[in-house]
Amino acid sequence: MHRSIAALLAALCCACAAQAHIAPSAGTAPSLTLHRALELAGAASPSLDAAAAELRAAEAGRQIAGLRPNPSLAIDAENVAGSGPYRALGGAEVTATIELPVELGGKRSARIDVADAQARRAAIQAAAAQADLRSDVIQSYAEAVAAERRLVTAREQARIAADALRAAEVRVRAGRASPIEMQRAELARINAEAEVERTGRLVETSRFSLSRRIGAPVAGPLDEDWFASVASHYGPLEPIDSADTLALAEAEANVAVAEAGVRLARSQRIPDLTVSAGARRLEETGDTAALIGLSIPLPLFNSGKAALAQASSERRRADAQRRLAAMEADRSIARAQANLANAATTAATATGPALAAAAETARIARIGYREGKFGQLDLLDAERTLAETRLAAIDALLSYHLAQAQLERLTMRAPSALGE
């Protein structure tokens, strides 16, 4: 068990040490892919540093649990600093003894079992920290790409609003439209430019959040193709078994720790022996005598029964939480599956037929407005529908990637090395 824990510890340490090899690139910043962002986050994450420290502590705890009790050296001097023949050291009796505790009831093996269970739990928590980090990076990356797509849409709408204003000015000068149309177009242009400013700040915020998450500046472009890709999730949902997932593995590790605690509490009810051996020197005669002792505590006030009852209650609580975790994992995975399938359908529709129809409607409205066949309200309505459809498509893609990351996190399997 401790070899598997050490292997996971070495992997985490290598990930942390890799940060020293990351240097900023000169010149034009390269594109930042999701894979690269995950690598940078693994090298700079405080959560992984904490997990590595926890693993080291667990390994040290395993070594401590296997140590035997230390012997004691005792030196006693009797009949000293008295009166008459016992003045100073004249009648002193000096005794030197070595006391060695002898553990009974399997206490040492029970401690080792507890330490092994705690080390396994620490390793599972380290794997969970890695899974959480991956999910967080995917979420931050998707939000940053979505913000940039919203900025592109906002700039496109601002350009369209400027074109509509120029068309309105032409119509008003030609006497084919009321000056109110030019005021409406000017208002639409002002709102579109304000939206560009607001979305630009959103891009800055999302990029800053991503840079803090990965521990490196985000200077280059992001992977638009990854964001636009949507896998097919049609057909009935197939149930996913929650066994061996990280969530259940951690709950089972808590049960193992509690069970080991019960065995330790049971072993501690058996009193330990203390064996002593020594020598006594009689100053008056110069003789030496051997001493042999054996002591055992009397469990009159603390028999360990209450500690055993406490450990048993902890085990029952851990077992109940494991059953609850299994139920919750099944429900969460089923919900995440449904959310991902719905998000995939919405994204495919929003980025396909719906977006194409809105774009075509807006194109026809622009041509018709310039030729005087459509009114300005028709044009504004078509442009507003196009903008809303574009933003809905971005939101649908973002929801899809967030749902995919959530399902991936819920179904993440515990490392196989932990079961060795």
Q: DSSP 3-state assignment of 44?
A: helix
**Spatial CB neighbours of 14, under 8 Å, sequence gap ≥ 6:** none
**pLDDT recorded at residue 202:** 94
Nearest Cα to Cα of residue 36 among 226, 214, 219? 214
Is 108 inside a domain boundary?
A: yes
Render 245-314 in DSSP notation, one character per residue.
Answer: BHHHHHHHHHHHHHHHHHHHHHHTTSPPEEEEEEEEEETTTTEEEEEEEEE----SS--SHHHHHHHHHH
Nearest Cα to Cα of residue 225 among 28, 34, 30, 29? 34
The letter for the amino acid at 230 is V
The residues with which 77 forms a beta bridge, in sequence order, are 94
For 407, the domain range is 2-68+103-269+304-419
Is 262 inside a domain boundary?
A: yes
Contact indicator for 332, 410 with CB cutoff of 8 Å = yes
The C-alpha atoms of residue 160 and residue 164 are separated, in whole angstroms, by 6
**pLDDT recorded at residue 346:** 87
Q: Is the dihedral of CA 233, 238, 239, 240 positive or negative?
A: negative
**pLDDT recorded at residue 348:** 86
Q: Beta strand 72-78 with 93-102: parallel, antiparallel or unpaired?
A: antiparallel
Average pLDDT across each block of 10 residues of the chain; the chain has 420 residues. List them in order: 49 42 47 90 86 90 92 83 56 84 92 93 92 93 94 88 80 76 84 91 93 89 90 69 86 94 93 90 77 89 91 95 92 91 87 82 80 73 81 91 93 68
Tally of structural domains, the chain: 1
Is 196 inside a domain boundary?
A: yes
Contact indicator for 80, 95 with CB cutoff of 8 Å = no
Helix (H) or strand (E) holding 96: strand 93-102
- Reported as a single tens digit per residue, the pLDDT across 63-118 is 999 999 999 999 887 766 555 555 555 566 888 899 999 999 899 999 999 999 99
Is 294 inside a domain boundary?
A: no
CATH number, domain of 186, equals: 1.20.1600.10
Helix (H) or strand (E) holding 98: strand 93-102
Q: How many residues does the chain have?
A: 420
Is 293 inside a domain boundary?
A: no
- CA angle centred on 16, ends 21 and 28, rounded to 5°: 35
Contact indicator for 185, 164 with CB cutoff of 8 Å = yes
Burial label for 227, CB within 10 Å (0-12, 13-18, 19+), is buried
Is 365 inside a domain boundary?
A: yes
Is 379 inside a domain boundary?
A: yes
Is 81 inside a domain boundary?
A: no
Task: Match 């089972």 to its residue by tokens.
Answer: 252
Contact indicator for 52, 19 with CB cutoff of 8 Å = no
Contact indicator for 250, 120 with CB cutoff of 8 Å = no
